[in-house]
A = this chain, B = another copy of it.
Amino acid sequence: MSSPPLAQEIIRKKRDGESLDPGEIRGFIAGITDGSIPDYQAAAMLMAVFLRGLDDAELGVWADAMVHSGDVLDLSSIEARKVDKHSTGGVGDKISLPLAPAVAACGVAVPMVSGRGLGHTGGTLDKLESIPGFRVDLTVDRFVSQVRELGVCLIGQTERLAPADRRLYALRDVTSTVESIPLIASSIMSKKLAEGIDALVLDCKVGRGAFMRTREQATELAAAIRVIGEAAGKQVTVVLTAMDEPIGTAVGNALEVAETIEVLRGGGPADTRELTVALGAEMLRLGGVADGDDAATRIEAVLDDGTALELFRKLIEAQGGDPRVVDDPAGVLPAARATTAIEAQADGVVASIDARSIGVAALHLGAGRRRKEDDVDPAVGIRVLAHVGDRVTRGQTLVELVHNETGVDAATALVRGSYRVDRDGAGIAAPTTRILEVLR
């Protein structure tokens, strides 16, 4: 009898818990990329990997094969070290927007390739596109030249970056194989390493509003990310950050741009600024331009002295957006027709806010996507006005829905359900930091 086809034999090995050798992994990913491996074999393999895992050696090769399934950007013409940040996704997570210009203003190049929002989490591209005229679909040449000139550019993933990931990701979604540490880690890293960066800061969110619900899962993901980075010879710093209540005040695209501009003016919610400073400091360290406490101080300085804001203005202008947004966000950003206040029903202290429910509420208003092909409404969203630890009185506005008369009932119910207000508030305190751990 003829020997069994390669794909089946590779699936069988993984199914039986054996380690795949590099040739087998590269062959499988090549088959995913060129389509010679059909969906059903890919699906069986994904489930086998989900249940059997990948060891460190396999993980490094798997991710590398995915990186090289498409183009790897050549940023060697840029002299500065190139450092990107990736977040595993949160609610109100607009950090990339103030972060990218702040880090670039300190001399580290930030070639940022971002994604769109899906489900309860938002996406950097959608937020940027709420700025009238802003283009995220630049050519690779233009992307590279903008990073060279401004030190920063933010675009969407092209068809040619890690195409194996696109195919696997679509399949994972429909085969219940999403929540697998090696598959998540290699998906993230394949896209990031294809950007041609020197180093990466991964903001790994932990908590009720995150994909990683527990500290244990997040630590496991961080380890897998670092294994892949090491195998690729890239420095990776993982920052575990709390994602229980939404970040800052704004959830929704234009609302988050407005909050970004506050941060870039040296203000903004304390947690949004804290995350920008902490993640920016790690990027400066990896970029080799600052050490220790100096790194945070430098980010704070460019936020406070307007340097980062000026770079954000140039970035917007270079990418076709209306730069006046930085001076007059309310005048330039799209506005929704109505707001609806959701008020506290009793006196007490906010004990918790379920970020996921807030994210889903924003989705109902039109701020996000249920399916990839959905459009988002840039103007709508949620203003979170009472945070964990805040003492509130009956009738006080907890949350403001900013909407276009769509999904208000569903959003209201979700927001109400997301707040837990404790009558006496004993033992409840505002969290002092979102930074749980830094793994350098």
Q: How far is the CA of A47 from the CA of B177 in the complex (A)?
A: 11
Bound-state Cα–Cα, A302 to B70, Å: 71
Whether A217 sits at the interface, judged by CB under 8 Å, is no
Q: Which residues of B lie under 8 Å from residue A99 when comparing CB positions? A: none
Cα distance A9–B176 when bound, in Å? Answer: 7
A29 to B39, CA, bound (A): 19
Within 8 A of B (CB), among A25-47: 38-44, 46-47
Q: B44, A177: Cβ atoms under 8 Å? A: yes
Beta-carbon contact of B48 and A46 below 8 Å: no
CB–CB A175/B44 < 8 A: yes
Q: Which residue of chain B is the closest to A175 with respect to CB atoms?
A: B44
Q: Complex formed: what's the CA distance from A52 to B15 in Å?
A: 11
- Interface of A (DSSP majority class): helix
| Complex alpha-carbon distance, A175 and B176, angstroms | 17
**A267: Cβ under 8 A from any B Cβ:** no
Q: When chains A and B are docked, how far (Å) is the Cα of A119 from the Cα of B176?
A: 33
A367 to B370 CA separation, bound complex (whole angstroms): 56
Q: Are A1 and B50 in contact (CB under 8 A)?
A: no
Asked if A429 CB lies within 8 Å of chain B CBs, one says no
**A420 close to B (CB within 8 Å):** no
CB distance from A175 to the nearest CB of B (A): 4
- List the B residue with the shortest CB-CB distance to A10: B176
Name the interface size band of chain A.
20 to 34
Residues from chain B with Cβ under 8 Å of A174 in the complex: 5, 7-8, 38, 40-41
* Among candidates B2, B47, B363, residue contacting A44 with C-beta atoms closer than 8 Å: B47
**Cβ contact of A40, chosen from B40, B48, B120, B370, cutoff 8 A:** B40
A360 CB contacts on chain B under 8 angstroms? 1
B175 near A41 with CB under 8 A, answer yes
Cβ-defined contact, B40 with A8, below 8 A: no
Q: Is A12 an interface residue (CB 8 A)?
A: yes
Give complex CA distance A370, B5 in Å: 13
In the complex, A11 has a CB within 8 A of chain B: yes
Contacts of A38 in B (CB 8 A): 39, 174
Centre residue among A8, A52, A175, A370 by max chain B CB count within 10 A: A175
A51 adjacent to B15 (CB under 8 Å) = yes
Query: Are A11 and B171 neighbours in the complex by a CB distance under 8 Å?
Result: no
Q: Please provide the 10 A-B residue pairs with the shortest distance between their CB atoms, ordered closest to farther.
A: A44-B175, A47-B47, A40-B43, A12-B176, A39-B40, A43-B43, A11-B176, A43-B44, A44-B47, A51-B51
Q: Which A residues have a C-beta under 8 Å from some C-beta of B?
A: 1-2, 5, 7-9, 11-12, 15, 38-44, 46-48, 50-52, 119-120, 171, 174-177, 360, 363, 370
Q: 20 A-B Cβ contacts within 8 A?
A: A5-B174, A8-B174, A11-B47, A11-B175, A12-B176, A15-B176, A38-B39, A38-B174, A39-B43, A40-B42, A40-B174, A41-B43, A41-B174, A43-B44, A44-B46, A44-B47, A47-B47, A47-B48, A51-B51, A51-B52
